C-alpha cells in the first residue's frame, strides 16, 4: 500500500509541475500584447501585477512586460498571422515603435529581477514608477520614479532639474538608471535638498 500512495504522489507532483510550466499564449499587436483569457494569464497579474485585466478576461501587457515574461519562459508570443515571434524578432519590431526600447528594457528587467514591481509612469511625466518590495500597485504609492538613460547620452541641466521637479511634486524619489553598452544598469538616486 505505501508504494502505491508514494507513486500517486509522484505522479500528482509531476502533473502540478507541468501545469506551472505551461506558457501563456499571447498575440503581439503594434504597441501591446494581449494574452489568452486563462487562469495562467490571470495569475501573472495576481501574483506580480503584470499588465491589466480587460473586460473580456484577457491580460493586456506592455511591450516591456511581454518581453520580460517571454525571456523568463512564461509567455509564448505570436503575431497577428499566428506566426511565432522570437526574442530577436520582438526586439526588432518594438524598436520600430519605440527607438529607446532596449535601454528601457534593461532597466525594467533589472528592477523586476531585484524583486520590485515596476510600472509605467506617464501620468507623472516619467518612464517608470517603482514600488517597494512586497507592495502592489493600489495597496500603496510608488516610492521612486525612474528615468532610464544610456551612458553615452547627454542630459542638460534644464532637463535634469525638470526631472527632479517632477519627482519632488509627486512626492517620489528620483532615480536615474544608467545603462552601459553591455546592458548593465547603475542607479543614482537624486534628492532635492534645501540649504
DSSP string across the chain:
-HHHHHHHHHHHHHHHHHHHHPPEEEEE-SS-EEE-SSHHHHHHHHHH--SEE-TTS-EEE-HHHHHHHHHTT-EEEE-TTSPBPPHHHHHHHHHHH-TTHHHHHHHHHHHHHTT-EEEEEGGGTEEEEEEPTTPPBTTB--SEEEEEEETT----HHHHHHHHHHHHHTT-EEEEEEE-TTS-EEEEEE-----
By residue count, the chain amounts to 195
Name the residue with cell 519562459: 73
Average pLDDT over every residue of 104-115:
95
Average pLDDT over every residue of 71-93:
92
To the nearest whole number, what is the mean pLDDT of the chain? 86
Question: What distance in Å separates the CA atoms of residue 180 and residue 172, rounded to the nearest whole number?
Answer: 25
Residue that wins the pLDDT comparison between 183 and 19? 183
Q: Is the pLDDT of residue 140 over 80?
A: yes
Measuring CA to CA, how many Å separate 44 from each of 2, 22, 49, 104, 133?
37, 12, 7, 21, 17
| pLDDT score at 136 | 75
Question: Would you please indicate which residues are annotated as catalytic (active-site) residues?
Answer: 131, 141, 172
Of the chain, the percentage scoring pLDDT greater than 70 comes to: 89
| pLDDT score at 10 | 57
Q: What SS3 string covers 177-192?
A: EEECCCCCEEEEEECC
| pLDDT score at 64 | 94
User: Beta 126-131 vs 117-121: how paired, if at all?
Assistant: antiparallel
| pLDDT score at 4 | 55
Average pLDDT over every residue of 27-46:
89
Residue that wins the pLDDT comparison between 107 and 32? 107
Answer for the pair 4, 56: CB distance below 8 angstroms, yes or no: no
Q: Which of 65-69, 149-153, 162-166 has the lowest mean pLDDT?
A: 162-166
CA angle at residue 163 from 162 to 167, to 5 degrees? 115
Buried b / exposed e over 84-95, threshold 16 CB at 10 Å, is ebeeeebeeebe
Amino acid at each position: 500500500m505505501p508504494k502505491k500512495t508514494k507513486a500517486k504522489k509522484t505522479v500528482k507532483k509531476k502533473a502540478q509541475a507541468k501545469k506551472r510550466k505551461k506558457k501563456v499564449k499571447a498575440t503581439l499587436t503594434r504597441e501591446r500584447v494581449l494574452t489568452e483569457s486563462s487562469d495562467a494569464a490571470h495569475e501573472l497579474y495576481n501574483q506580480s501585477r503584470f499588465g491589466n485585466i480587460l473586460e473580456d478576461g484577457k491580460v493586456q501587457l506592455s511591450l516591456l512586460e511581454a518581453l520580460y515574461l517571454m525571456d523568463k519562459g512564461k509567455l509564448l508570443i505570436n503575431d497577428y498571422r499566428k506566426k511565432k515571434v522570437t526574442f530577436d524578432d520582438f526586439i526588432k519590431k518594438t524598436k520600430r515603435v519605440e527607438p529607446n526600447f532596449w535601454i528601457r528594457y534593461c532597466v525594467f528587467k533589472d528592477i523586476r529581477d531585484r524583486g520590485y514591481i515596476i510600472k509605467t509612469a506617464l501620468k507623472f511625466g516619467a518612464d517608470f514608477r517603482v514600488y517597494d518590495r512586497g507592495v502592489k500597485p493600489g495597496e500603496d504609492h510608488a516610492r521612486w520614479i525612474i528615468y532610464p538613460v544610456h551612458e553615452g547620452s547627454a542630459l542638460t541641466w534644464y532637463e535634469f532639474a525638470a526631472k527632479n521637479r517632477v519627482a519632488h511634486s509627486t512626492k517620489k524619489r528620483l532615480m536615474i538608471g544608467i545603462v552601459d553598452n553591455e546592458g548593465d544598469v547603475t542607479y543614482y538616486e537624486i534628492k532635492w535638498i534645501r540649504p
